Homo-oligomer: A and B are copies of this chain.
Amino acid sequence: MTRPIVTVIEVGKAVIDADTVYTEPVHFVVEDGIIREIGVGPYVPKTGERVDRYVRKGDRVAIPGLVNTHGHAAMTLLRGAGDDMPLMSWLHDRIFPIEARLTEECIYWGTLLASWEMLTSGTTTYTDMYMMMDRAAQAVAESGMRGVLSVGVVGLDEADRENGIRRSRDFVANWHGACDGRIQVTLGPHAPYTCPEDYLHEIAELASELGVGLQIHLSETRVEVDDCLGKTGLTPIALAERAGLFRVPTLAAHCVHVTDDDIEIMRANAVHVAHNPQSNLKLGSGVAPLPRMLERGLIVGLGTDGAASNNNLDMFEEMRLAATLHKGIHEDAQCVNAATAFRMASEMGAAACFQAQGAGALRVGSPCDMVLLDGKSPRMLPQHNLLSDVVYAVGAEDVRDVFVAGEMVVQNGEPLAIDTERVAYEVKRLRDRLQP
């Protein structure tokens, strides 16, 4: 039996979770990636206790690593390839032609670019639904992040359907639980408008057989909902329920155009939601009824969506936007408070994408996914309320060091396991090949 690796991290202040803030120095004792002990003041070793690594950052503020509950990582390669366009012409004239040229190396380098951007802006866990996912998983394995990955599948013809099932089955077999559990796999039926009802049913059966959850786009645009109602008489969410999709744990992205009945279906079936406020605005999709979903007790995380529709992967922006957008829309400054937004970006987000209990917080027993912010940032001055500063003022520019499962993966703003010069070189090379 090998002895566990013990790391001690000392910081100046810490936000443990949305309800617990230390405004004094704190130390964390981390054992094999799990927080075993939290104490005020510097760490004092007990007799016989051995510490393998010390990290002493007295001028940092620790917060849980942020959780990005929806995205398509390798779409970083399409960042800025089309903006300010109507959705259909954006998809058909810009996105699809480039996507048709994507190769395995595009997925690998694009996902590394996304990991670089996410880690250095404070995200430690992300979800992904895209193509050629073995290469995405390889990038996640190398970068040190946590990923909840899925092969995006569509079922518009028989070949697609069979491919989707086979690839999903293989991907679960090869990667679910890999890298000491850092990589988890779900199934990824794209949406009801690309997956017919019987195919959704088949995918739910497969998820059930394999013991995994699934992620899907639901009710992102008004047109999608109207089309579905026209064709089936049901909203996409009611249709997904009828297909039996919700009998397995489901993370539904967007949910912008949802009725109260849809929300009730999601509540009754414990469907989780990924709220993507910036993408929903930028694509002209609309504003999701987040306050109603929270009132009804849904588990809601926040997501950036892909970098073609955002156009960055900054979860501080999503957290701030989730906290402010609905106040403005409802003309109610009390709507979605700082603690709620923080919870969605951390612990509730982790729950939304099926992470273990305690994930997304820094409590004893939580995995040590931790971000250290610059305690000397002007955005943290004068510091009347540290949680408010983190939600409403701090940005990616204040992220300094990042740990995933107790391993340091970003130090003083630089990723340790990603060769950023190489990534920059490769994605520029690939860009020139992607232009139609």
Chain A residues at the B interface, C-beta cutoff of 8 Å: 76-81, 83-87, 90, 113, 116-117, 120-121, 222, 278, 280-287, 307, 310-312, 314, 317, 320-321, 323-325, 327-335, 337-338, 376, 378-379, 381-385, 388-389, 392-397, 420, 423-424, 427-428, 430-431
Could you list 21 A-B pairs, sorted by A, with CB under 8 Å?
A: A77-B382, A79-B381, A80-B388, A80-B392, A80-B393, A81-B385, A83-B337, A84-B337, A85-B334, A86-B334, A281-B327, A282-B392, A283-B333, A284-B328, A284-B332, A312-B392, A317-B320, A378-B420, A378-B423, A381-B423, A395-B395
Q: Are A396 and B395 in contact (CB-based, < 8 A)?
A: yes
The distance in angstroms between the C-alpha atoms of A90 and B337, with both chains bound, is: 14
Question: Separation in Å of the A153 CB from the closest CB of chain B?
Answer: 26
The distance in angstroms between the C-alpha atoms of A402 and B332, with both chains bound, is: 38
With A324-B278, A332-B284 in contact, is A389–B85 under 8 Å at CB? no
The distance in angstroms between the C-alpha atoms of A327 and B256, with both chains bound, is: 14
Enumerate chain B residues within 8 angstroms of A333, measured Cβ to Cβ. Answer: 84-87, 90, 282-284
Question: Separation in Å of the A310 CB from the closest CB of chain B?
Answer: 7
Question: Separation in Å of the A254 CB from the closest CB of chain B?
Answer: 12
The distance in angstroms between the C-alpha atoms of A385 and B94, with both chains bound, is: 13
The distance in angstroms between the C-alpha atoms of A78 and B330, with both chains bound, is: 25
With A284-B330, A307-B393, A328-B286 in contact, is A80–B117 under 8 Å at CB? no
Enumerate chain B residues within 8 angstroms of A83, measured Cβ to Cβ. Answer: 337-338, 385, 388, 392
The distance in angstroms between the C-alpha atoms of A428 and B394, with both chains bound, is: 17
Question: Separation in Å of the A341 CB from the closest CB of chain B?
Answer: 10
With A117-B378, A379-B117 in contact, is A384–B282 under 8 Å at CB? no
Q: Are B388 and A311 in contact (CB-based, < 8 A)?
A: yes
Q: Are B382 and A284 in contact (CB-based, < 8 A)?
A: no
* Main SS at interface, chain A: helix
Enumerate chain B residues within 8 angstroms of A389, measured Cβ to Cβ. Answer: 79-80, 311
Enumerate chain B residues within 8 angstroms of A397, measured Cβ to Cβ. Answer: 121, 395-397
Q: Are B79 and A329 in contact (CB-based, < 8 A)?
A: no
Q: Are B331 and A284 in contact (CB-based, < 8 A)?
A: yes
Q: Are B317 and A382 in contact (CB-based, < 8 A)?
A: no
Q: Are A384 and B80 in contact (CB-based, < 8 A)?
A: yes
Which listed residue, B81, B321, B379, touches A384 by the CB 8 Å rule? B81
Q: Are A378 and B80 in contact (CB-based, < 8 A)?
A: no
Q: Are A113 and B283 in contact (CB-based, < 8 A)?
A: no
Q: Are A329 and B287 in contact (CB-based, < 8 A)?
A: yes
Question: Separation in Å of the A435 CB from the closest CB of chain B?
Answer: 8
Q: Are B312 and A379 in contact (CB-based, < 8 A)?
A: yes
Which listed residue, B120, B222, B283, B382, touches A327 by the CB 8 Å rule? B283
The distance in angstroms between the C-alpha atoms of A280 and B378, with both chains bound, is: 23
The distance in angstroms between the C-alpha atoms of A85 and B311, with both chains bound, is: 31
Enumerate chain B residues within 8 angstroms of A284, measured Cβ to Cβ. Answer: 327-328, 330-335
7 additional A-B pairs beyond A79-B393, A281-B325, A311-B392, beta carbons within 8 Å, are A113-B381, A284-B328, A311-B388, A312-B394, A329-B329, A376-B424, A381-B428
Enumerate chain B residues within 8 angstroms of A430, measured Cβ to Cβ. Answer: 382
Enumerate chain B residues within 8 angstroms of A392, measured Cβ to Cβ. Answer: 80, 83, 282, 310-312
The distance in angstroms between the C-alpha atoms of A388 and B384, with both chains bound, is: 36
